[in-house]
Amino acid sequence: MFDLAVPPHHARRWRAAGRFFAAFLLLVAVSVPAYAQEWSYRVRPGDNLWDLSARHLRPDVDWRRLQRLNRVDDPYRLPPGSLLRFPVSWLRIEPAKATLVALRGQVRAQVSARGDVAAASEGLRLGIGGWIETGAGASATLEFADGSRLLLMANSRIVFDRLSTYGRTGMVDTRMRLQRGRATNRVIPARGPASRYIIETPSATSSVRGTHFRVSAGENEEPAATEVLEGKVQVDGSQGAGVLLRPGYGSIARAGAATSAPVPLLPAPTLDAARSRLDALPLTLAWARTDGAVAYRVEVVRDDAPEVQLFEARTQDTQLRIPALPAGRHRVLLHAIAGNGLGGSDAQHVFELAALPPPLTIRPLDGETLYAPRPRFEWTLSPGAADTLLQLADDPGFERLRAETAVSGTRYRAAQDLPPGRYYWRVAARDAAGRGGAYGDALPFDVSDAPPDPGLQPPQAEQGQLTLRWKDAAPGQRFQVQIARKRDFAQPLLDREVDTPQVSLDRPGGGRWYVRVRPIEDDGYAGPYGPVQEIRLPCRVCYAGAGALVLLLVL
């Protein structure tokens, strides 16, 4: 047998060596991260170690330490193309700003922890401790030092905890808290090991190094949610291990609970081209129902800057009207919302609205009553327009359309008779590429089948003539006049077309006569006859001597 007893003086030496070794391991553990995270710089012609150190190192880090780390013999002669190692802990850290590049609706902000709260404006710069919040129907687009962008949705608030850059390395440390609401993020791929983009919600933290994802803070007992569209996102909840989300997956986290395992997002809805109308305002977007969806979210963003929101709405229907948008090239985004609160993948469609003013309307006038069942609509041609889009509807929201057509000229006759009632019409200009501008105001008019008050004057006769006159004619308008003994006009005494609003004829025999007139438009459309009017020619009139009988007929 071997005696394993250790002499006391050897034991003391071993214990001392153990303490030294443990201290060495602790020193290594503390020192390793400083060297393990390194930023590499590729030398360019004309670089020297002195200038690079002054540009990137903290003031308290001597350039000679960088020389020793990289084993540089001559600090003024660096081989172009070679790599220099910069420990992240040595790099200069400078404060950065978040810039408000676009906003819509009511947006308030505080630029720093000590700044004043005020209405936000485009170009506003926010620093550490600052915050920004959006009201109902509002949005705000923020850009960070590395070009990453965040779209803050309606009724949301975000606070900035850290906004800094590592000198001129391109590495940025951005950390914020989404206290309520939702945000969409497009993060520039990380340019070095120290780059960070972190959003914390009340129940989860999302960390990324370059991706496109959505995050919500969770409200009204709903959990916080993270939805990944591109790249990868690490989500850590307040309890338990975090999860790594890949494109097409999301997770939810309730306060005090672990983050859920990755959940597949609902697929993008299928747009319905037949029911959609995206060539002129107001737009109509329609889609097929998605299995598992409880609602849908529709956004319109700029095509060249999808983080700039122009419109946003949530609906349980499969159709939505968008009343107003600026001219330009836009992109509509549509995703389904599952019962667990996660938004799905986006269906996208790019469209363009022309910068054309709506035409000026001529007739019918606002609130005018018409007595023709097939009225004619007239307007002006907008500058730069190739044709005009016309809509005729039963309601001011144009949900119940009776006509929707493109007209090459400036006139349109209703294709079918309109029953008596109130109607609305509007027009929009369209350019040669088929891009429509905004519609003008919706104008109401009424179609009536009731005859107007004829307003007859007492007849006067002279020289044995009968002259009938009525209201002034519109340009190019003609008239058809009938006079008969019976109200059915089966055998008229007179059936004549005239170019002026009057007709003269030899005085007919005494007694009761009936007269009616209808307009004939310059396009050949013959409107309905006006009310049948009665003329009585007593015998004493026959002998009145001087002869023209004048009647004023109101059609």
Q: Say if residue 269's pLDDT is above 50.
A: yes
The average pLDDT across 240-253 equals 90
CA distance 148 to 212: 10
Q: Judge residue 203's burial from the number of C-beta atoms within 10 Å of its C-beta, 0-12 exposed, 13-18 middle, 19 or more buried.
A: buried
Angle at 291 between CA 285 and CA 294, to 5 degrees: 70
Q: Judge residue 231's burial from the number of C-beta atoms within 10 Å of its C-beta, 0-12 exposed, 13-18 middle, 19 or more buried.
A: middle
Q: pLDDT per residue over 475-515, tens digit each?
A: 778 888 888 898 899 999 999 988 887 888 887 887 888 88
The average pLDDT across 419-446 equals 91
Confidence (pLDDT) at 314: 96
Phi then psi dihedrals of residue 368, to 5 deg: -70, 145
Query: 393 - beta bridge partners?
Result: 401, 424
Confidence (pLDDT) at 552: 47
Confidence (pLDDT) at 31: 37
Shortest CA distance to 144 belongs to which of 210, 204, 205? 210
Strand order in the sheet with 387-393: 368-370, 443-447, 421-430, 387-393, 401-407
Contact yes or no for 91/194 (Cβ under 8 A): yes
**Which residues, other chains included, contact 460 with Cβ-Cβ below 8 Å and sequence gap of 6+?**
548, 549, 550
β pairing state of 309-315 and 263-264: unpaired
CA quadruple 73, 76, 80, 85: dihedral sign:
positive
Q: Judge residue 165's burial from the number of C-beta atoms within 10 Å of its C-beta, 0-12 exposed, 13-18 middle, 19 or more buried.
A: buried
Confidence (pLDDT) at 427: 93
Superfamily of domain 465-553: Immunoglobulins (2.60.40.10)
CA distance 514 to 511: 10
Residue type, 181: G
Q: Say if residue 519's pLDDT is above 90.
A: no
Tell me the domain boundaries of the chain.
38-92, 201-264, 283-353, 361-447, 465-553
433: confidence class by pLDDT, cuts 50, 70, 90: confident
CA distance 169 to 152: 28
554: confidence class by pLDDT, cuts 50, 70, 90: very low
Shortest CA distance to 302 belongs to which of 278, 337, 327, 322? 327
Phi then psi dihedrals of residue 65, to 5 deg: -65, -40
Confidence (pLDDT) at 505: 81
3-state class (DSSP) for residue 54: helix
Shortest CA distance to 551 belongs to which of 529, 536, 531? 536
CA distance 469 to 527: 18
Confidence (pLDDT) at 3: 41
CATH entry 3.40.50.2000 includes domain 38-92:
no
Shortest CA distance to 460 belongs to which of 547, 348, 359, 536? 547
Q: pLDDT per residue over 344-387, tens digit each?
A: 999 999 998 888 888 989 889 899 998 889 999 999 888 889 99
Q: Say if residue 6's pLDDT is above 70.
A: no
The average pLDDT across 229-239 equals 88
- Work out the angle between the directed axes of helices 63-70 and 49-56 (0-180°, nearest 10): 120
Confidence (pLDDT) at 538: 60
Confidence (pLDDT) at 451: 65
Shortest CA distance to 178 belongs to which of 147, 156, 210, 148? 156
- Terminal CA-to-CA distance of the chain, rounded, Å? 135
CA dihedral 52, 53, 58, 62 (to 10 degrees): 180
Q: Say if residue 392's pLDDT is above 90.
A: yes
Contact yes or no for 78/42 (Cβ under 8 A): no
CATH entry 2.60.40.10 includes domain 361-447:
yes
Shortest CA distance to 418 belongs to which of 441, 399, 394, 395? 394
Mean pLDDT over each residue of the chain, to the nearest integer: 85
Query: 132 - beta bridge partners?
Result: 109, 158
The average pLDDT across 264-286 equals 91
Q: pLDDT per residue over 129-182, tens digit each?
A: 999 999 999 999 999 999 999 999 999 999 999 999 998 888 999 999 999 999
Shortest CA distance to 138 belongs to which of 173, 109, 160, 161? 109
The first and second tokens of residue 295, run together, are 């609602």
311: confidence class by pLDDT, cuts 50, 70, 90: very high
Superfamily of domain 283-353: Immunoglobulins (2.60.40.10)
How far apart, in Å, are the Cα atoms of 229 and each of 180, 199, 320, 482, 488?
21, 16, 24, 75, 75
CA distance 353 to 312: 18
Contact yes or no for 159/177 (Cβ under 8 A): yes
CA distance 251 to 224: 8
DSSP per residue, 72-126: -S-TT---TT-EEEEEGGGB--EE--EEEEEEES-EEEESSTTSPEEE--TT-EE
CA distance 15 to 7: 12
Lowest mean pLDDT among 84-93, 141-150, 225-234, 430-439: 430-439
pTM assigned to the model: 0.69
Q: What's the helix, strand, coil split of the chain in %, to 5?
A: 10, 45, 45
| Chain centroid offset of residue 139 CA | 11
Q: Do domains 283-353 and 361-447 have the same CATH topology?
A: yes
